[in-house]
Amino acid sequence: MRKLAIKELEEKAKEIRKDVIRMVYEAQSGHIGGALSSAEIFSSLFFNVLNHDPKRPDWNERDRFVLSKGHACAGLYSAMARSGYFEVSELNTFRKIDSRLQGHPSRADLPMLEASTGSLGQGLSIAVGIALGLRLDSLKSRVYCLAGDGELDEGQIWEAAMAASHYKLDNLCAIIDVNGLQIDGWTKDIMNTQPLLDKFESFGWHVLEADGHNIKDILRAFEDAKKIDDMPVAILAQTVKGKGVSFMENKAEWHGKPPTKEEMIRALVELGDGKDER
């Protein structure tokens, strides 16, 4: 795929946000906050970083992407559709009966996914297994895994972190969406996992930090990650939950509730889509 320029990637992130708002409104179910916080990460990965071919989703030499925070799949589905894996119109079926676009990623329904995820903490373990498999097959493909900071409460994350370091998986890059919130409130109050940089370094990872809403900074971090040998890389992406919609930003209640019609219109207006016709 042609790599997009920064301005184009910013527009893709905006499209992803608008898709997320529409999808969750239409289904009256889904997770908005963590999908909005990850929009620039999805945009950067699917339109610039990943070596992939939507026309050949089973291409053996492709890079792999695992969404460990599976509840944020509305953002993933948007990025996949807009990069050509399926028609954008299929986004309208999100969370509906017989839809391939389940409320959490289901490989059984959407085979071009690398893994079924949503049970928090498991995605990084899956990514470690894929990275080991690629090494055994002598493939130079990379594995990218997006996890949430609230998800780091799960002990399995740290078991996977130990394994990745032990096996020196330099083909593995974990991106942590550090938005500071989870379903019950601020992560520092629910289970304080800070300082994340020190923790990942103590587990034998090379750690990079980035502004998760600055495309240029995100791309810089991904390029730096590729230069690291004999160690897995963790990118700590500082983000805002609900980013882009003023009344959703930094609000735990927008972790998993759908907007009303008025809220949907207001959100789309803030994202630059049409006029406020309330």
Q: For residue 82, which of 181, 9, 187, 166 has the smallest C-alpha distance?
A: 9
Query: In this structure, are residues 43 and 78 in contact, taking their beta carbons and an 8 Å threshold?
Result: no
**Cα 190 vs. chain centroid, distance in angstroms?**
22
- The pTM of the whole model exceeds 0.85: yes
The CATH superfamily label for domain 6-270 reads Thiamin diphosphate (ThDP)-binding fold, Pyr/PP domains (3.40.50.970)
Q: Count the Cβ atoms, other than its own, within 10 Å of residue 194.
A: 13
160 token code pair:
């996977």
Residue 59 to residues 56, 144, 223: CA-CA distances in angstroms? 5, 16, 23
The size of the chain, in residues, is 278
Written as tens digits, the pLDDT of the chain (278 aa) is: 789 999 999 999 999 999 999 999 999 999 999 999 999 999 999 999 999 999 999 999 999 999 999 999 999 999 999 999 999 999 999 999 999 999 999 999 999 999 999 999 999 999 999 999 999 999 999 999 999 999 999 999 999 999 999 999 999 999 999 999 999 999 999 999 999 999 999 999 999 999 999 999 999 999 999 999 999 999 999 999 999 999 999 999 999 999 999 999 999 999 998 654 43
| Radius of gyration of the CA atoms of the chain, in A | 18
Residue 253 to residues 21, 40, 215, 242: CA-CA distances in angstroms? 15, 22, 27, 10
CA geometry: angle 223, 128, 114, nearest 5 deg: 85
Residue 278 to residues 18, 262, 274, 275: CA-CA distances in angstroms? 18, 7, 12, 9
Largest Cα separation within the chain, whole Å, is 58
